[in-house]
């Protein structure tokens, strides 16, 4: 059953972590972000030809299955893009069936709490049909909005444009972060992909990331990705807008693909090829590579292609 977490329930969960007993806020330090995969893999899976649900399952299975990333009882945070105010067919939000597949895969390996949570509002979740897949597959919704009490300060030691961030407590309390962007056009950064999607876990986005007309946006995203780590990145490229992003509506293409991997730079570089962008065409990629966040040269990666069997 889908549950929308209230402020009191979240407070109880944080207390359950032992914060009140120990009298410490150490969980909200830089070192306590969600734990990424032990070793960033050279593998990137690309599943195509099926439904959004089946492409997602095939991509994760090509990496060894969800058990590679989620242990029994683990607290999982799923971060989709649901910032648009248009329904799923508009391709400005992560498709709900991609998220549904991920919830089911987490449940199949015995995950504990599975939460869909970021800065978006309950209205956005409903428009994006996240409430439907949460109820069907067994996840909780955490529409935080910009409620400052649900965000905590972390430092950004590698930051060049940022020295700190206000990050979702759900992220700080998670064992696993599955970052689930929709691939789409963006008027400032050219494309919105995995690293940019991490902005859903912070507040003050317009004030900080888009200051001075957005000229610092790419460096801010690279700084963000250096501090907020994903365990698994799953890119929804089933349908995508190629103009008027990120909010749309825009012209669309239908690659009918889902990509999955653990290297945040390489996954984004591969997804950008869908719009014919190379590794040097989007400034964020070089900045993130210089941060040491991942591989920019796809020749160093192992691309695993799968054709999804349609079962849903």
Domain CATH number, residue 212: 3.40.50.11440
Rounded Cα distance between 172 and 194, Å, is 18
Rounded Cα distance between 186 and 189, Å, is 6
Nearest to 112 by CA among 31, 201, 20, 13: 13
For the CA atoms of 292, 296, 301, 303, what is the dihedral angle to 10 degrees? 130
- Rg of the chain in Å (alpha carbons): 18
Mean pLDDT within 200-207: 85
Q: State how many domains the chain has.
A: 1
pLDDT digits (tens, 9 = 90+) for 147-193: 778 899 999 999 999 999 999 999 999 999 999 999 999 988 899 99
Mean pLDDT within 2-18: 45
- Domain presence at residue 302: yes
- Domain presence at residue 312: no
Which two tokens mark 272? 């950008």
Reported as type and span, the H/E element at residue 303 is strand 302-307
DSSP 209: I
Q: What is the mean pLDDT of the chain?
A: 87
- Domain presence at residue 119: yes
Domain extent for 253 = 3-26+34-307
Nearest to 232 by CA among 101, 48, 112, 121: 101
- Domain presence at residue 289: yes
Q: How crowded is residue 28: how many other Cβ atoms within 10 Å of its Cβ? A: 17
- Domain presence at residue 241: yes
pLDDT digits (tens, 9 = 90+) for 30-49: 334 444 444 578 999 999 99
- Domain presence at residue 56: yes
- 60 in Cβ contact with 105 (< 8 Å): yes
- Domain presence at residue 203: yes
Rounded Cα distance between 234 and 62, Å, is 12
Which two tokens mark 265? 């730079």
């Amino acid at each position: 059953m889908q549950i929308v977490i209230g402020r009191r329930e979240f407070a109880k969960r944080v207390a359950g972590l032992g914060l009140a007993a120990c009298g410490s806020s150490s969980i909200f330090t830089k070192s306590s972000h969600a734990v990424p995969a032990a070793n960033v893999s050279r593998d990137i899976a690309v599943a195509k030809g099926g439904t959004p649900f089946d492409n997602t399952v095939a991509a994760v299975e090509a990496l060894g299955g969800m058990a590679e990333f989620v242990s029994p009882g683990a607290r999982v945070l799923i971060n989709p893009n649901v910032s648009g105010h248009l329904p799923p067919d508009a391709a400005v939000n992560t498709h709900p069936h991609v998220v549904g597949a991920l919830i089911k895969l987490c449940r199949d390996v015995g995950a504990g709490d599975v939460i869909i949570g970021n800065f978006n509002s309950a209205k956005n979740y409903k428009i994006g049909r996240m409430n439907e897949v949460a109820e069907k597959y067994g996840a909780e919704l955490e529409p935080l909005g910009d409620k400052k009490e649900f965000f905590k300060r972390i430092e950004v030691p590698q930051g060049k444009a940022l020295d700190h961030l206000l990050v979702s407590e759900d992220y700080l309390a998670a064992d696993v972060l599955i970052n689930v962007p929709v691939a789409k056009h963006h008027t400032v950064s050219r494309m919105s992909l995995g690293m940019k999607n991490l902005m859903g876990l912070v507040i003050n986005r317009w004030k900080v990331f888009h200051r001075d007309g957005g000229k610092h946006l790419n460096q801010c995203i690279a700084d963000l990705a250096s501090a907020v780590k994903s365990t698994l990145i799953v890119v929804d490229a089933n349908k995508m807008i190629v103009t008027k992003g990120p909010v749309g509506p825009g012209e669309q293409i239908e690659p009918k693909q889902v990509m999955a991997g653990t290297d945040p730079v390489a996954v984004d570089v591969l997804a950008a090829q869908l719009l014919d962008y190379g590794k040097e065409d989007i400034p964020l990629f070089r900045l993130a590579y210089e941060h040491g966040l991942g591989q920019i040269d796809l020749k160093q990666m192992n691309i695993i292609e799968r054709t999804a069997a349609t079962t849903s």
